[in-house]
Amino acid sequence: MESYCKILVIRFSSIGDIVLTTPIVRALKQQLKNVEIHYLTKKSNYSLLQNNKYIDKIHLLEEGDLYSKLRKNKFDYIVDLHNNLRSFKIKAMLGVKSKAFPKLNLKKLLLVKFKINKLPNVHIVDRYFEAVSKLGVINDYKGLDFFLQEEDFVSPDALPLDFHNGYVAIVVGSKHFTKQMPLDFLMRICKSLDKPIILLGDKSDYEKAFRIEKEIGVKVFNGCGAYSINQSSALIKNSLGVITADTGLMHIASALDKNIICVWGNTVMDFGMYPYRSENSHAKTYNFEVKNLSCRPCSKLGYKQCPKKHFKCMNAQNVEEIIRIANNWE
């Protein structure tokens, strides 16, 4: 087998997708001798990878004279884990050996548009590994990686005293509305949980979280927009468990080996992006989805509103069971 000393891994976005590439990065670094791993991504995702001990150098898509800088590195191989037109152009420009993972867009389209499911029962992490199979690199089944530094951890003094004995983290938002848990849904959960609750999300989720905090009171702490992605991840690490929709923080929670309740809206687990665990994980994953909805999945990503106006994929969820499970976390 040929020796590859310098490898470029490509994945531009988004949060969850990048976290899902970490087993490949780790396996490359640990299974190939004297290999140097470079990673190309967007600037907005730098913090997700900056602490990863298996990456030697991060390149940012927005860098000036990017192509020239990449050429100077004289890569031996490119592992394309995005597989789009932009990554194709970069591979063509560099002109070195490469392999992309199978994206299965046509099969996803069949499922979304015609509800014909031809997708393999394979997690996307295992599909990512197809891009390194020619290198002799295999899955070590140690799960996802997400590395935190001491400065990422929020001081206990920043949280109310009642939170020091344990809390549940709830991820309020998602990039697409049809992936988000509705306000009434979240209100019901927060009112019934017998533990303190931290609400996590970005600035766009603040108002929604503020309404929950105002309605329910001191057992809810609104952290939306107050913390970086790494700080939010550290809060998840110190939680009893996480209630989330199909979000990037869901994958980070999986990397941190936390109990997860994942509430599925318009997307489906058949796409192969459900929580991915180490074979030695002791954390529990509970997937909630409304079965037998003829309109689901309506998109492989999401919409600004439910195309059918009823939003049954979220509104018909078993909220009582979600509450029961979370109340048993210790």
Q: Scanning the structure block, which residue is given the tokens 């992006």? A: 273
Tell which phi-psi region holds residue 260, choosing left (phi > 0), alpha (psi between -120 and 50) or beta: beta
At 236 the pLDDT is 98
At 2 the pLDDT is 64
At 227 the pLDDT is 97
At 200 the pLDDT is 98
pTM summary value = 0.97
How far is it, in rounded angstroms, from Cα 98 to Cα 31?
18
Q: From first to last of its 330 residues, what are the pLDDT tens digits of the chain?
A: 566 799 999 999 999 999 999 999 999 999 999 999 999 999 999 999 999 999 999 999 999 999 999 999 999 999 999 999 999 999 999 999 999 999 999 999 999 999 999 999 999 999 999 999 999 999 999 999 999 999 999 998 999 999 999 999 999 999 999 999 999 999 999 999 999 999 999 999 999 999 999 999 999 999 999 999 999 999 999 999 999 999 999 999 999 999 999 999 999 999 999 999 999 999 999 999 999 999 999 999 999 999 999 999 999 999 999 999 999 999
Tell which phi-psi region holds residue 217, choosing left (phi > 0), alpha (psi between -120 and 50) or beta: left
Give all domains of the chain, ordered by start, each with its CATH number.
Answer: 6-135 (3.40.50.2000), 151-327 (3.40.50.2000)
